Amino acid sequence: MNQATITAHTLHHLDTATEVLSNLRLGLDYHTGADLSPAEMIEEAAALTWAADSLLHLTVAQQRLTGTTWSEIGQALDITKQAAQQRFGTMA
């Protein structure tokens, strides 16, 4: 994946996460705008978690392409350099 593709994917995931979060606050379905049941709210929250994790992975990949070190990534996430490499290293 090149940097432009990663940036496009990152922005898409950020937009999706923002919209899902807004709808969760209102208790509305992301796709239909209908009221959510408690189980559906849990499903939407899980979707938000997935979107946030995807956004994090894409952001790390983008930063690695721009020269950010594993130490800097680890510091930003409050984990060790080695933990950052283990979690995200397969993307780089």
pLDDT at 1: 62
DSSP 79: S
Residue pointed to by tokens 């994790």:
53
Write down the pLDDT at residue 6: 66
**pLDDT computed for residue 49 by the predictor:** 87
Q: What is the pLDDT of residue 90?
A: 77
Q: How confident is the model at residue 16 (pLDDT cuts 50, 70, 90)?
A: confident
Contacts of 1 (CB under 8 A, 6+ apart): 9, 61
Handedness of CA 59, 61, 66, 70 (dihedral sign): positive
Domain ranges of the chain: 3-91
- pLDDT tens digit sequence for 27-86: 766 667 677 788 887 887 888 888 889 889 989 999 999 999 999 999 999 999 999 999
Is the overall model pTM greater than 0.85, yes or no? no
pLDDT for 86: 95
